[in-house]
């Protein structure tokens, strides 16, 4: 296949073993861990043009470009925004996208080997918190010679990482782009995560998390978990427009007793099944639990203004009108806290029917907002 | 225990075997079936004071009063509204509450014996539609000597039955009270139902629906199904107020690696587990599928005005401000169609944080609305 000219093109994931011990929030220490990441563009001599992309729940390090030019090869998950001349312009920026620890795409996580036992970590992988991700990314920045990120960009739980970065390493973040995110989960968010976890652990093939050891796979539980999540990423309007009450199979006619399947069911089942083939059930449980526990201002007396008073970055906050997973109201809370803390903040609400999934979509006004904001960041002594 | 004076008191469920063949929408016929029901109050000599209560998904025939005066005995599910002097006043009305066919509380359904095989119906119970419920209730009315109902009252899927009644037997319904309902499900509603069904069928103890035959019980799947439903019955606000981000177990403190459980998780798990002990998994699948397929105006060229033009009843429509399962907008659609069809309709939206569950709660303005509307219905030649 021909790779489009506005793509970063063929990319190869990189792997680094970090031997600086990482003290985790839970009290355990990772003496050594692997990080898989991709980079696009070039670090400039001033080393001030690096952008960190924090991926979301189902994301990973492959955000842009292609791993091969085989027919049908799909680009990275944010190809619409990362590339030469795109919103996150690789002619200007050096873009770094690590796969998070605890993930399941090559970085140390439940599906990798625990050096202490020689077996897979499985459910014994340490219970992480967001600051552990941030600290591991800081170690990666050290290795890459990046003192401060020109920008950290994250959507959904990626935005939570970006916020945490701005408090943990205030001098290492110049700009923070918080997209479709929130300072903590609502009880409803937690409820959906718990349903997902319960779907996974109810699958006999989950085997208390030791499915890799036992060579089984909790695909039914994991697929259902993903379906539960997926419903909350879509808006009512979008479902109406895209699926309505159309049938995929069967008939409404009376006297016909064939099984009925609606398009929306078929779609969710398909999405769930595909996800279950490539994701790790322990990672899903680990990360949803991290999400539940995340609370930006907890150690700042639950005062978001006090929390953001620690930050030094400038902020762009983006929400999506029909997002009910992380609603615009949750973004207002961030903006209000930033204003209260005298931070420099821009805010844009994107009118769309795409719900939470909007943050991964090339909605023109959204892409323009990112492009305009990032275009104004100065690097290398110039614009 | 002492039974409150404003209760209908001790009640005994009644059971009738109906031998008039019931031709079902799917083309099959039930030659004979059992209906379990309760009645409260007395049918007047004019036989014009009968009120039919259509129960919702998890409901049944025991809507008011007590089955015993044992300590801790709980009253019927709508005790707050049915009784002497209450909104549905048993001094005035003869209240009839059948358990629907396909249910699991005594009426013929998947957990009863299929006369053709001598074994439980299980998943072979016929695929019903709402009109089948309506027709079976009409047969019950015939047996009880009720030509026309003074009122049919239903919340949620009970409201769908009431609407269908008003079109199938326009001369047998004088008033129709439609509470927290809709003329069909949205794709989002269908999606949640599909998640619930998938949770059930993924449970190995579901055994393709033959769990009773095999003496196993798909409690994990059914509990998860119920939890998925339950999340959608609660409003965001209610969850915030009632549970917030409070912990039931564990600690947020870093360095402490205990499992964390939020109050909302504990609540949902408790509710799901209790439900799974007393409900039938095949009934859950059957009824959620009926809900998905229900579409009031399908055979009226998808024109709700045309559909309601067939009705002769007067209507009260009630919605709840924070109900996102059957939102106020869905009630507006009903009201608009009724207005378009020149029907007599009253509408009230109840301001509450209780979400869809509001329809089962004794919210004063809601109870007043029911009371006032029903108080104005004339029976027996007088008010």
pLDDT tens digit sequence for B65-77: 999 999 999 999 9
Q: Is B156 part of the annotated catalytic residue set?
A: yes
Which of A25, A187, A240 has its CB closest to that of B264? A187
Q: Is the pLDDT of residue B375 over 70?
A: yes
pLDDT band at B235 (very low <50, low <70, confident <90, very high): very high
- Cβ pair A152, A98 in contact under 8 A: no
> pLDDT, tens digit, for every residue of B269-300?
999 999 999 999 999 999 999 999 999 999 99
Q: Is B356 part of the annotated catalytic residue set?
A: yes
**Minimum distance, in Å, between the CA of residue A23 and any CA atom of chain B:** 10
Q: Which residues contact B274 (CB under 8 A, 6 or more apart)?
A: none
- Cβ pair A236, B185 in contact under 8 A: no
- Phi and psi at residue B89, in whole multiples of 5°? -80, 115
Q: Is the pLDDT of residue B9 over 80?
A: yes
pLDDT band at B254 (very low <50, low <70, confident <90, very high): confident
Q: Is the pLDDT of residue B256 over 90?
A: no
Whether A245 and B187 lie within 8 Å, measured CB to CB: yes
From chain B residues 246-275, the ones with a CB under 8 A of any chain A CB are 252, 254-257, 260, 262-265, 268-269
- Cβ pair A308, A338 in contact under 8 A: yes
Q: Is A156 part of the annotated catalytic residue set?
A: yes
pTM, two decimals, is 0.95
CATH class of A14-184+295-375: alpha beta
pLDDT band at A382 (very low <50, low <70, confident <90, very high): low
Q: Is the pLDDT of residue A383 over 60?
A: no
Residues of B in contact with A243 (CB under 8 A): 187
Mean of pLDDT over chain B: 96
Mean predicted confidence (pLDDT) in A254-267:
88
pLDDT above 70 as % of chain A = 99
Per-residue confidence (pLDDT) for residue A258, from 0 to 100: 78
> pLDDT, tens digit, for every residue of B342-360?
999 999 999 999 999 999 9
CATH class of A190-288: mainly alpha
* Complete edge-to-edge strand list for the sheet that includes strand A33-40: A14-18, A33-40, A94-98, A50-54, A151-155, A175-179, A314-320, A345-350
Q: Which CATH architecture has domain B14-185+295-375?
A: 3-Layer(aba) Sandwich (3.40)
Higher-pLDDT residue of B254 and B376 is B376
Q: Where in chain B is the domain with CATH 1.10.1740.110?
A: 190-288
Q: How far apart are CA A162 and CA A65, in angstroms?
A: 23
Residues of A in contact with B199 (CB under 8 A): 199, 202, 224
Mean of pLDDT over chain A: 96
**Minimum distance, in Å, between the CA of residue B37 and any CA atom of chain A:** 28
Q: Where in chain B is the domain with CATH 3.40.50.1820?
A: 14-185+295-375
Residue A302, chain B, CB below 8 Å: the answer is no
> pLDDT, tens digit, for every residue of B95-153?
999 999 999 999 999 999 999 999 999 999 999 999 999 999 999 999 999 999 999 99
pLDDT above 70 as % of chain B = 99
Q: Where in chain A is the domain with CATH 3.40.50.1820?
A: 14-184+295-375
> pLDDT, tens digit, for every residue of A72-131?
999 999 999 999 999 999 999 999 999 999 999 999 999 999 999 999 999 999 999 999
Q: Which two tokens stand for residue A16?
A: 């680094």
Q: Is the pLDDT of residue B217 over 70?
A: yes
Of B61, B142, B50, B124, give the one whose Cα is nearest residue B88.
B50
């Amino acid at each position: 296949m021909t790779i489009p000219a506005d793509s970063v093109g063929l990319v190869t994931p990189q792997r680094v073993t970090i031997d600086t011990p990482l003290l985790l929030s839970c009290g355990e220490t990772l003496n050594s861990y692997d990080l898989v990441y991709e980079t696009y563009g070039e670090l400039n001599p001033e080393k001030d043009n690096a952008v960190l992309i924090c991926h979301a729940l189902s994301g990973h390090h492959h955000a842009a470009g292609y791993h091969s030019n085989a027919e049908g090869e799909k680009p990275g998950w944010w190809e619409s925004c990362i590339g030469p001349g795109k919103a996150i312009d690789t002619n200007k920026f050096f873009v770094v996208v690590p796969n998070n620890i605890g993930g399941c795409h090559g970085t140390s996580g439940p599906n990798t080997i625990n050096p202490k036992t020689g077996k897979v970590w499985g459910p014994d992988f340490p219970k992480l918190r967001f600051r552990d991700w941030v600290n591991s990314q800081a170690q990666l920045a050290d290795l890459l010679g990046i003192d401060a990120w020109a920008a950290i960009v994250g959507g959904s739980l990626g935005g939570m990482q970006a916020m945490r970065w701005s408090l943990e390493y205030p001098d290492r973040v110049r700009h923070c782009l918080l997209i479709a995110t929130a300072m903590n989960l609502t009880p409803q968010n937690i409820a959906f995560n718990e349903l997902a976890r319960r779907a996974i652990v109810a699958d006999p093939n989950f085997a208390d998390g030791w499915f890799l050891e036992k060579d089984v796979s909790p695909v039914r539980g994991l697929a259902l978990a993903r379906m539960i999540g997926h419903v909350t990423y879509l808006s009512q309007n979008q479902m109406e427009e895209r699926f309505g009450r159309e049938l995929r199979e069967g008939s409404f006619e009376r006297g016909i007793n064939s099984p009925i399947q609606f398009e929306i069911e078929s779609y969710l089942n398909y999405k769930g099944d595909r996800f279950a083939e490539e994701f790790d059930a322990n990672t899903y449980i680990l990360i949803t639990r991290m999400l539940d526990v995340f609370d930006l201002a907890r150690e700042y007396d639950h005062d978001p203004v006090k929390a953001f008073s620690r930050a030094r970055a400038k902020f762009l906050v983006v929400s999506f009108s029909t997002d009910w997973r992380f609603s615009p109201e949750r973004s207002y809370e961030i903006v209000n806290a930033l204003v209260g803390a005298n931070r420099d903040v821009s805010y844009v609400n994107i009118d769309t029917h795409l719900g939470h999934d909007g943050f991964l979509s090339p909605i023109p006004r959204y892409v323009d907002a990112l492009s305009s904001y990032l275009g104004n960041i100065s690097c290398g002594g110039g614009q």
